[in-house]
């Protein structure tokens, strides 16, 4: 799903079931042909400060992104190679550290 700067307000944080918090958009890269389309950035929850990445114009709104990415290594690799901004690379690098930790935990039990 493409993220338009005009329609992103329809996204809500997945961490709150009863109360819906509209996510705030932090856009780093917009489509050069359409500045209303966000290519890369974050949707942030004003309540719990959780960040949902937007990579290659697709919002990844998943409550447990570490678990998701650790089961889909090739998807994660695609995110990393598609990401362009320093902010996103840093976010994904930190995520990969969490994925490693997650794997170690699973090995232990």
According to CB under 5 A, which one of 1, 7, 9, 15 is a site residue for Zn ion? 15
Question: What is the footprint of Zn ion within residues 42-71 (CB under 5 A)?
Answer: 45, 47-48, 50
Task: Tokens for 62, please give them.
Answer: 């998943």
Nearer to Zn ion, 47 or 90 (CB): 47
Nearer to Zn ion, 13 or 69 (CB): 13
99 binds Zn ion (CB under 5 A): no
Q: 54 vs 37, 60, 62, 81, 102, CA distance in Å?
A: 11, 6, 11, 13, 23
Backbone CA torsion sign across 29, 31, 32, 36: negative
Nearer to Zn ion, 15 or 81 (CB): 15
Min CB(43)–Zn ion separation in Å:
10
Go through 59-94 and write b for each residue having 16 or more CB atoms within 10 A of its CB, e for each that does not. Answer: bebeeebbeebbeeeeebeebbeebebebbeebbee
Q: Residues binding Zn ion: what is the number (CB under 5 A)?
A: 6
Nearer to Zn ion, 39 or 52 (CB): 52
Interface with Zn ion (CB under 5 A): 13, 15, 45, 47-48, 50
């Amino acid at each position: 799903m493409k993220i338009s700067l005009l329609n992103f307000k329809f996204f809500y944080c997945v961490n709150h079931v009863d109360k819906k918090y509209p996510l705030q958009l932090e856009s780093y890269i917009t489509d050069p042909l359409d500045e209303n389309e966000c290519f890369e950035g974050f949707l942030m929850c004003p309540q719990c400060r959780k960040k949902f990445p937007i990579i290659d114009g697709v919002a990844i709104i998943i409550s447990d992104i570490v678990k998701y990415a650790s089961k889909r290594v090739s998807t994660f690799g695609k995110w990393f190679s598609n990401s362009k901004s320093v902010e996103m690379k840093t976010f994904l690098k930190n995520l990969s550290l969490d994925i490693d930790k997650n794997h170690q935990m699973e090995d232990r039990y």
